[in-house]
Amino acid sequence: MSTLHWSDSRLEVHRVVVGPYENNVFVIRCKETGEGILIDAANEHELLLEMCQRLGVKRVLETHGHGDHIQAVPAMREAGYEVAVTALDAPRLKEVGYDVFLDDKEIIEVGRLRLHVIHNPGHTEGSVSFKVEDAPLLFSGDTLFPGGPGNATFDGGSFEQIIHSIDTKLFTFPAETIILPGHGGDSTIGTERPHLREWVDRGW
């Protein structure tokens, strides 16, 4: 099964869809060093562990702490992978565990690649996105989807916060930036940005 989703001369993005909520799990891999990182250990841990071993994954980053995004965390940690989440969402992982905190504006190195951590409150208090430096890739978790923001009605969510976060932190990227969300297909900033007012008016 080919998992390759996107590539250029420097990096590869691999994707699998797992679990009853059809979560996207991504691996970003530096071609030069062979080192990778996994975003959201959602479910189907045996599949994820095989992919991690094949693609040189060194650690796991969680976009947020909702249950459908963390089912494979215990198996990943048991296999020796460090799991990172924001301090604000860490309480949601109290049963599965975590290792380190992610901070807003932190830069994570994956081989020669650099990922920028962007705090996006609104879906949860500590939701984050990841922007790959010098590549048109934005991993938006459950903050931004094709057609609108993520659900802000859960505990810890805020529609006003998620809209403000999308507008001021994500819609500042170039139009050709590819949005890779936590569920469903890809989109681009240029496709979604013109619809912000519609989302505000409809209230979700």
Enclosing domain of residue 64: 4-202
State how beta strands 36-39 and 57-61 pair.
parallel
Q: Which residues contact 28 (CB under 8 A, 6 or more apart)?
A: 11, 12, 13, 36, 37, 39, 110, 113, 115, 132, 137, 139
> Does the predicted model carry a pTM greater than 0.95?
yes
Of 204, 201, 173, nearest to 193 by C-alpha is: 173
Report, as an integer, the average pLDDT of 16-39.
98
If we measure between CA atoms, which residue out of 38, 27, 88, 91 comes closest to residue 62?
Answer: 38
Summarised one tens digit per residue, pLDDT across range 175-202 is 999 999 999 999 999 999 999 999 999 9
Give tens-digit pLDDT for 27-37. 999 999 999 99
Instruction: CATH number of the domain at 177, please.
Output: 3.60.15.10
Digit-coded pLDDT (tens) for 123-148:
999 999 999 999 999 999 999 999 99
DSSP 62: -
Number of domains composing the chain:
1
- Three-state SS annotation for 89-158: CHHHHCCCCCCEEECCCCEEEECCEEEEEEECCCCCCCCEEEEECCCCEEEEECCEECCEECCCCCCCCC
Two structure tokens written together for 58: 């060194």
**Which two tokens mark 158?**
């805020």
Mean pLDDT of the region 41-70: 98
d(CA 55, CA 64): 23
- Average of pLDDT values for 70-84? 98
**The predicted structure's pLDDT at residue 35:** 98
Q: What is the pLDDT of residues 92-128, one digit of tens each?
A: 999 999 999 999 999 999 999 999 999 999 999 999 9
pLDDT at 1 over 80: no
pLDDT at 34: 98
